[in-house]
Amino acid sequence: MAQNLVALRQLGISHILSVLDSDLPSTFVPRVVAFVVGMQCPDSFLQDILIGMHISVVDDEGENLLSHFPDAFDFIHGAIEGGGRVLVHCAAGVSRSASVVISYLMKLKHIRAAEAIDMVKQVRPFINPNPGFLRQLKQYEKALSILEDSHHGNKKLGDSGGKKGILSPRRDSHAHQV
């Protein structure tokens, strides 16, 4: 645990977004994740250095992840705008956390799902959102396109924008850092 905290500090991580099934036994979850999920954490100093959000979903194509995209965007964007760095993770770092990061990039950069997927794959080549999450990302793309058309004149998805270098490679194989 101490090594994990040192690594988080070295990376400047101030916020953690967990995308996990909250029914996972705590013995399978690192203590830093247990803190985010709201389980008992004896290290009170964790609360001083980490701000957490938890999205309780299983990696199943029938699971509704789409409804969590707006809150995840607000959490990630607020952290970054406040000078923080966010670690987004799930159990394997392949489907759930990747889908959340993809949705964030879609909204931030006004890009389509395929382009956001390609951006994430440049940093983490083995991501593979499940088919249900891919469908939801396409639905989100349509919703964002409607929002862009009505709020920004004729600006279409695919116009790049936002901060450069928003994705950073990480050493942890189960998380995404934005």
Q: Which of 20, 90, 98, 105 is catalytic?
A: 90
25 Cβ neighbours under 8 A, 6+ residues apart: none
- CA atoms of 113 and 82, how far apart (whole Å): 26
Residue 41 among the catalytic residues: no
- Please, are residues 62 and 43 in contact by the beta-carbon 8 Å criterion? no
Q: What's the token pair of residue 122?
A: 């440049």
Give the integer Cα–Cα distance in Å for 167 and 100.
13
Determine whether 60 is exposed, middle or buried from the number of CB atoms within 10 Å of its CB (0-12, 13-18, 19+).
middle
List the catalytic residues.
90
